[in-house]
Structure formats: structure tokens, C-alpha cells
Amino acid sequence: MRRLIKKLALNLFRGRYAPRSFSKWLVLLFDCFIFFVSFWIYVFVKYVNYVDSFNMIWEVIQVEIIHFIPLFVFFLINVFIFGSYQGLVRYSGFGDIKKIAYVCFGTFIVAYMTKAITVGFIPRPLIYKWFVSHTEVVFISMLVFVIMTLSRLVIRRIYNENINHKQEAINTVIYGAGDAGMITENALEQDTSASYNIVAFIDNSANKIGKSINGIPVYSPSKIYNKDFVKKNNIKLIIFAIPSLGNDEKAKIINEIIDLGINVKSVPHLNNWIDNKLTVNQIEDIKIEDLLGRDPIVLGKENVTVGLNNKVVMVTGAAGSIGSEICRQVLHYKPKKLILLDQAESPLYDIQFELKNNEPFRSFNIPMEFVVGNVKDMVKMREMFDKYHPQIIYHAAAYKHVPLMEEFPYEAALVNVLGTKNVVDLSIEYGVEKFVMISTDKAVNPTNVMGATKRIAEIYTQSRKTDKTIFVTTRFGNVLGSNGSVIPLFKKQLAYGGPLTVTDRNIIRYFMTIPEACSLVLEASVMGDKEDIFVFDMGEPVRIYDLAKKMIKLSRKEGVEIEITGLRPGEKLYEELLSTKENTIPTEHAKIMRAKVRRYTQEEVDDKIHTLINLIPTCDNFKIVAQMKNIVPEFISNNSIYSYLDKKENKNEI
């Protein structure tokens, strides 16, 4: 019976059987009790040297209970105004203590103002009978504040140490002994889902090293960065709590930490805190992007606003990784209408649901049209242009998977070449102001069918001569997290226990985030004033093998192996962006350059592309690829069956 009562009491204290609306009234009752006790403690101290008989005690009670009633009413008024009873006592923090301070100070103010107002029309004897002096109100308020604060902190401590039975404490180090570090420590202490033992802070500041904060020592990084310290103190987690640090420095530090085999988490930037407060749920796992060591590229918004505001914008491939992010960013610039075209109905439904139901997009109240259609279907595309008359087009629709397109060249040509031609031709016919094509670094000296089709699409786009439509092309490398990219693949392989597959130990790629890629596209759309191809300064390339090793360390699955599978058909060891000074011209933006590429005339392009398009229905892959090589002489197949066509004697056979 005793155990049952204890269990019921503990569950009630934890709020399991007490509704939230009921528990707050319990807190209010508890606060009223504290006020009652505090008042009579003050009375006891006030009269302890003057009362020497039971009759005098009764007289004091009769006098002071009249003083108690108005003061208690004033206290209740402030409790309801500031809502000090609405917090969960076992989670009390600085915010709750501030509310208690407001209640106590408000009680003094209300008492002072009430007494001052009533002096003019109530006899003084009655005022002295009902109201205590201002000095006494101050002392009583201070006593209430101290007891209420201490009671909450004591209850929180009892709950955390004796009632809230947690798993074994996680020995944790916080990197950063500044304000964010202090807030992180407080958030960990208030977490009820796990127990954290803060072993140390790490900081580079000589003024902090060797000292302690809340009894926790502050060490230099060199003290922590060794396996002996980690093993001796059984360190399981390091939380990076310097959210304002640049990506380069942050990546360097985190790379050193994960080499110790410790789980690493990071405090998000202050702008991402909810209601300017940090909770444990917001402390996030380190992402692979954090280890690439490149600060995000910030592009201008003023020009983009001028270029897109009140325009009818169409995005092809709008349900893909790049297309959907372009749509999200375009909406922030208040277009007149946004048309989203994609042939994949399920992803299109997903982006439709997101943009119509999620904030901030729902609040924009911008008309949107979601169209299921394929750019290779000229009838459907003409219908769209005739109905919506787009002014700005972002052409993101394309096949992009290198090995698959190596198997199906006719499909790659059908969508990437014919599809682009359809949209380009209609843009000229309907007087589109700007056509922005999203291309790829694989179009530079292509070694595969996909890259070759994108280069042909670039050539056709650049060769169009018109006074109405400006054609702009953007090229960038691999996009982190996009459909089919290497990082989602590695995550899936890690989930299944490995191995991680890398085609070659020396293969390298450039990387950027999806928002960066789309910001580049938007910036290019307003920068371009002729048939420009823009390339992006993407920093240093990343070795995929090293990326795989870092992801294994981040996942803390040290037993996972990396399997070298060999280059896939059409794949090359490194991609080129034409980012050297010899091949590019700087622009007003330091991270964006114009590519210097060969210009083709409309006459020499049209015949060759017309021949390619006529070959598509034959599904004769060798003839289709041979014509691609005729259009793009630098297209030399790599690790592909079409390498046969690169031999001079075989070109004449096809």
C-alpha cells in the first residue's frame, strides 16, 4: 500500500495524472501558501521582542490579518497579470524567477499607489488600519521573492536528482565558455529525457582558461584534444557552442574533435533559436556540410527583387531538388504569379501542399499554378505559354543521372536537348524577358551522355539571336542533399550497416548547398544581359573517399567499410567549372564569373541539332551519341561503350 501511494504521488508530481489546467492551479495554491507563510514570518520577526502573553498574540493576529487581506489581494492581481503560476515548477529557470520578481515588485507598486490614492478621501485611522507602511511592504515582498525562488529551485533539484529517474549520465564537454556556452549548460540541466554531466568547458581565451564557471573547469583545446583525457573522463559528447564562428574555423575544430571518436553536436545560430531561447531539442547533430569548411556564399537581394517583383515566373522541373528551392526563394520576391511545371505528379503534389499550407509561403497570397507536363511535349508547352505568358523562366527540368543516361541516350536527348529547344523556341515566340538555364559542371569537356546533352542545350540556347529574350546559363557542381547525390546515398548505406561505395579513391567533386545553388540562379537571372554562361567559385574540391570516412566518423559506426567499385560508365575523376582566370571573366560579384566559351552561330547549330532530333525516334544509341560528338567535339567518352566512337576510323562508319 505504501509503495502504491508513493508511486501515485510521484506520477502526480510528474504531471502524468494531473491535467495541465489542473496543475497550474496547484502551483497558484502553492504560491498563495508561500505568501501566507512569508507574511506571518515577517509578523513574527516584527513582534518577537514585544509579545509576552497569549492575549497579546491574539491582538497582533487581529490587527495583522486586516493588513494581510488587501496585500494578499494585490499579490493575487500581479500573479494573474504576470502568470507566474503557469510554469512547471520542476523546470523552473531564469524566466520563471523574473516573473516572480515582477509579481513581488508589482505588489509593492499596487500597494503604494492604492494607499496614495485613498489618502485624500479615507480617514487616516482607517488607512493605518488597512494598510501596512511602504517599508513593511518592501520587506514582505522581498521575503516572498526569496522564499518563492528558493522553493522552486529546491523542488527542481529534488525532482532532477531523486524523482526523475534518468539513464546513466552522459559525460559532456561544452566547446565555448561564452554566453552561448552558459545557455547550453542551462538547457542541458533542464532536459528531462537524459542526464548530462558537464565535465569541462573548452575555450581559447587566456582570460578563461584555468578558471571555473559554475564549478566547472575551463580548459584549453590542447588539454581536451587527446585520447588519454577522453578515456580518463569517459567523454561521450562534445557540444559546439560558438554559433557565430566562421565555417572554415568551425570545420577545422570539428574535424579535430571527430577524430577523437566522440559524438559531436552543435548549437544552432542565434537567429534559429525558438523565441530567443535554446532547448536541448534544438542542439543538432553535426552535418557533413559543417565539415566541408566553406563559408556560405551570400548573394545580393536588391537586384533580384527588382528583377522578379510583379513578374509572371515559370519554373520547369519545379518538383526537383533545385526547382523546388528556386520556387521557395522566388516567392520571397513577390512575383505576380508562379507557374510550377513538372512531369512527376507525386513530388509536384508534395511541393503544392508545402507552398499552400506552410508559412511563410501561405501568407504571401501569391497566385500559383501547378501543372503536370513534360518539356518534351510541344503541344502541352505551347498551351502553357498561351495561357500564362511567362516573363521569367527558370529551366531546371532535365535528366541528370550519369550512369542511367549512358544506358538511354535517346531519353537524355529527348528531354535535355529537345525539351530545352521547345522551351527556348516558345520563349522567343512569346517574348519572354529572360530565360535562365540550369546547367552542370559535367557539360565542361563532357565524358558522358548526360553532360554532352547539357552542353548541346547550352549551345542551342546561346545561339539564339533575339532582341526580346535574354538567355542566361548557370553552371555549378554537385548539390548537397539533392536527389541522387552522394550524401543521401551514403546515409542510406550507413543505415543498412554499410559498406559505403566509392567509385575511385581519388575521385573529387565540388559541392554547394541547395539554397546557395538557387541563390546563384536568381542572381544570374538579373545579372545576365546577353547570352551569358555563369560559373561559380565553389572553393576547394572535396575527395569523395575522405567524405565517406568523415560520414562514418559522424555516424560513430567505425566498423563500416568503404568499398571501391570502379568508375561508372561516363564518370570522370574530377569535374571542371572553367573557373581558371584564363577561361573566365570576373563580374561585379566576387563569387560569380562569366565563362569564355566558343560561340556558335544559329546556322551551324540548327542543322546539327535538327539531325540529332531526327535520330531520337530511331532509338539507335550509337547513331545518337555519334551525332552528339559531332556537335560537341570535346565530348570524349570515358569508361563507356561509346568510347568506340572516339576512334577516328569508326566515326565514318556510323
**Residue 103 domain-assigned (yes or no):** yes
Q: Domain range holding 282? A: 170-286
pTM over 0.85: no
For residue 36, give the DSSP letter.
Answer: H
| pLDDT, position 450 | 95
* Position 522 confidence tier, pLDDT thresholds 50, 70, 90: confident
One domain, residues 214 and 115: no
Place of cell 501543372: 371
**Residue 500 domain-assigned (yes or no):** no
One domain, residues 440 and 316: yes
One domain, residues 279 and 320: no
* Position 224 confidence tier, pLDDT thresholds 50, 70, 90: confident
Q: Active site residue: 250, 442, 553, 629, which one?
A: 442
Q: Distance between CA 579 and CA 557 in Å, rounded? A: 37
One domain, residues 342 and 237: no
> Which of 144, 163, 182 finishes a domain?
163
CATH number at residue 612: 3.40.50.720
Q: Is the pLDDT of residue 589 over 50?
A: yes
Query: For the segment 57-98, what is each residue's pLDDT rounded down to a tens digit?
Result: 666 667 677 777 777 888 888 788 877 766 665 556 666 777
One domain, residues 382 and 272: no
- Look at the chain and report how many structural domains it folds into: 3
More confident residue, 205 or 450: 450
Mean pLDDT, all residues of the chain: 79
More confident residue, 611 or 36: 611
How many CA within 13 A on the CB side of residue 229?
17
**Residue 56 domain-assigned (yes or no):** yes
> Which of 112, 130, 163 finishes a domain?
163
One domain, residues 39 and 138: yes
**Residue 291 domain-assigned (yes or no):** no
**Residue 558 domain-assigned (yes or no):** no
C-alpha angle 414-418-419 in degrees, rounded to nearest 5: 90
For residue 15, give the DSSP letter.
Answer: T
One domain, residues 101 and 134: yes
Among 5-14, 308-317, 495-504, name the one with the lowest average pLDDT.
Answer: 5-14
User: Which residue blocks in 119-217 are alpha helix, DSSP H?
Assistant: 124-130, 134-158, 179-190
**Residue 522 domain-assigned (yes or no):** yes
One domain, residues 155 and 177: no
Mean pLDDT within 11-20: 45
277 is catalytic: no
One domain, residues 72 and 22: yes
One domain, residues 156 and 190: no
One domain, residues 272 and 320: no
> Which of 101, 136, 163 finishes a domain?
163
**Residue 381 domain-assigned (yes or no):** yes
Q: Is the pLDDT of residue 451 over 90?
A: yes
Q: Distance between CA 99 and CA 103 in Å, rounded? A: 6
| Residue of 250, 170, 260, 248 lying closest to 222 (CA atoms) | 260
Burial (Cβ within 10 Å: 0-12, 13-18, ≥19) of residue 478: buried
User: How many helices (DSSP H) and strands (DSSP E) are in the chain?
Assistant: 25, 22
Type of residue at 277 = K
**Residue 32 domain-assigned (yes or no):** yes
Query: For the segment 465-478, what is each residue's pLDDT rounded down to a tens digit?
Result: 888 899 988 887 77
Q: Is the pLDDT of residue 386 over 90?
A: yes
Place of cell 531546371: 396
For residue 499, give the DSSP letter.
Answer: P
One domain, residues 133 and 214: no
